[in-house]
Amino acid sequence: MIMEDSVRGTVPMSTTTLASVVTINPDITFRELDGEIVILNLETGVYFGLDDVGARTWRLIEDHGSLGKVFAVLRSEYDAAPAVLERDLLELVDHLCAKGLTRVAAKSA
Alpha-carbon gap, residue 20 to 40, rounded angstroms: 24
Quote the DSSP letter at residue 4: -
Q: How many CB atoms lie within 10 A of CB 21?
A: 18
How many structural domains comprise the chain?
1
Q: Domain limits at 92? A: 5-11+18-107
CATH number of the domain that 93 lies in? 3.90.930.60
Give the SS3 label for residue 23.
strand
Q: How much is the pTM?
A: 0.82
Is 27 within 8 Å of 42 (Cβ atoms)? yes
pLDDT in tens, the chain (109 residues): 444 434 444 445 578 999 999 999 999 999 999 989 999 999 888 899 999 999 999 999 999 999 999 999 999 999 999 999 999 999 999 999 999 999 998 665 5
